[in-house]
Amino acid sequence: MPPKPLDYESINENVKRSQYAVRGELYLRASELQKEGKKIIFTNVGNPHALGQKPLSFPRQVVALCQAPFLLDDPNVGLLFPADAIAKAKHYLSMTGGGLGAYSDSRGLPGVRKEVAEFIQRRDGYPSDPELIYLTDGASKGVMQILQTIIGGQGDGILVPVPQYPLYSATIALLGGSLVPYYLEETANWGLDVNELRQSVNQARYKGITVKAMVIINPGNPTGQCLSEANLREVLQFCFEENLVLLGDEVYQQNIYQDERPFISAKKVLMDIGPPISKEVQLISFHTVSKGYWGECGQRGGYFEMTNISPETVDQIYKVASISLSPNVPAQIFMGLMVNPPKPGDISYDQFVRESKGILESLRRRARIMTDGFNSCRNVVCNFTEGAMYSFPQIRLPPRAIEAAKQAGKVPDVFYCLKLLEATGISTVPGSGFGQKEGVFHLRTTILPAEEDMPAIMDSFKKFNDEFMEQYEDHRGYSRM
């Protein structure tokens, strides 16, 4: 009997090739241990609510009413819901043709796209056109649709930062394209060097690859750096010179933990530069309701904005979006609420600010506790998490640990992370899942565990790491760093 079409030997090679470490070997082992009754701290995914973050009240009130519109007819509705939530629910319901149970336009509800455009305009100080904004099921779906529109085959290259979030490497592999890596410089706080970019592009071209797009993740995942305005200018200039579309992954724009480098969007910098660059460089910017102080990962809401994209291509992307009929409608309302939250004077304003500030300030403190904790450990060095939700310490593994990993048939950082998991229940992602320089090892953890649990988690990490280093360091020759 020949293999059947869905037998492993027969399936699409691109599917087998794509890898997604955030839910990889470590996660599977952690799930097993959890089933066996071990307490696991899931710091492998940036999934705030799963680690106890409470949802913001106002958006949940609005969406609850949209989901159960009969409550709006109940004479007691005003006792359960604030008047501004009731008004907002009516506002969003009036945008839908049939409530949340009906498909929307494939690009998303026009009213929400308009609210997104107004948000971008307020944020950047430049006009934004709702016709060039598409709502998506999380940022992931948007990234996939755009990569699908760009990549036709192996000859099409996408410049991706290393370390990177594996949505990019995995999707490029699925689509059969070529990932062209550019390395971020760890010793320069994960800075981006344009000379490095140029070299990567030249090397790829030498191999016959047409480099078509460049991805930036700002603030960075897993690296946590915030790009400076000067750096963004260089990147846009580079994209202009090299004829690349820039994919600006800006999902962590609310997650900023220092004041020196506030978030600046690629769109604003592009417009600031002025013509010809501002009229020529093609840019797609992505955002989501999964991150920030919202953390509504399970709702799957996102958008992308297209700049300098021709109407014909915008129509083609519309067609691609149409194949999935429509993005989640409840998620679109979350997006509307995120870009158009309660304003001063609204009944729910104070509570909204109290809740969102509370989350953000705590994340800022947690970023500090984690970085300091890692830096106090033997053979561990860690850049400060300037933004996003992750800490990405470098673990300087002694040669004997690397040897032991080899014996166990594991990549060295996977070996370290598995031991950490078994000893402490802390579930992380090995640096190799994001890419790193040869011979250098990291792990990624989120900064999301509850603040009160943080000291105990860092103590338990330190104890494990000290014992690990004690076990594998060669005290005769190997020097401590």
Per CB under 6 A, residues contacting ligand DCS are 22, 45-47, 138-140, 165, 167, 217, 221, 249, 251, 288, 290, 297, 302
31 vs 351, which CB is nearer to ligand DCS? 31
Angle at 61 between CA 57 and CA 64, to 5 degrees: 135
Q: Which is nearer to ligand DCS, 65 or 443 (CB)?
A: 443
Max CA distance (Å), the chain? 80
For ligand DCS, give the closer residue by CB, 247 or 405: 247
Q: How far is the CB of 257 from ligand DCS (least distance, A)?
A: 16
Nearer to ligand DCS, 26 or 86 (CB): 26
Least distance between ligand DCS and beta carbon 138 (Å): 3
Distances (CA, A) of 420 to 182, 234, 306, 342, 458: 30, 40, 43, 43, 12
Q: Shortest Cβ distance from residue 168 to ligand DCS (Å)?
A: 8
CB nearer ligand DCS, residue 387 or residue 412: 387
Question: Least distance (Å) from ligand DCS to the CB of residue 249?
Answer: 5
Helix ranges (DSSP H) in 138-242: 138-150, 167-174, 194-206, 229-242
Q: How far is CA 52 from the centre of its chain?
A: 19
CB of 206 to ligand DCS, least distance (A): 29
Handedness of CA 86, 88, 89, 94 (dihedral sign): positive
> Is the Cβ of residue 271 or residue 447 nearer to ligand DCS in the bound state?
447
Cα–Cα distance, 289 to 332 (Å, whole number): 9
Sheet of strand 156-162, all strands in order from the earlier edge strand to the far edge: 133-136, 302-307, 283-288, 245-249, 210-217, 156-162, 178-183
DSSP character at residue 185: B
Torsion of CA 130, 247, 282, 159, to 10 degrees: -170
Is the distance from CB of 212 to CB of 245 less than 8 angstroms? yes
Give the nearer residue to ligand DCS in terms of CB position, either 150 or 423. 150
Task: Round to whole Å and give the CA distance between 94 and 96.
Answer: 6
Minimum CB–partner distance for residue 31 and ligand DCS (Å)? 16
Tokens of 257: 């933990």
Tokens of 215: 């991805």
Cβ 211 vs Cβ 204: under 8 Å: yes
Whole-number CA gyration radius for the chain: 23
Q: Which is nearer to ligand DCS, 82 or 177 (CB)?
A: 177
Q: Which two tokens stand for residue 113?
A: 């796209």
Distance of closest approach, residue 14 Cβ to ligand DCS, in angstroms: 20
Q: Are 380 and 420 in contact (CB under 8 A)?
A: no
Q: Which residue is nearest to ligand DCS (CB)?
A: 138
For residues 306 and 116, is the Cβ–Cβ distance under 8 A? no
Q: Which is nearer to ligand DCS, 170 or 217 (CB)?
A: 217
Q: How far is the CB of 8 from ligand DCS (least distance, A)?
A: 27
CB of 328 to ligand DCS, least distance (A): 11
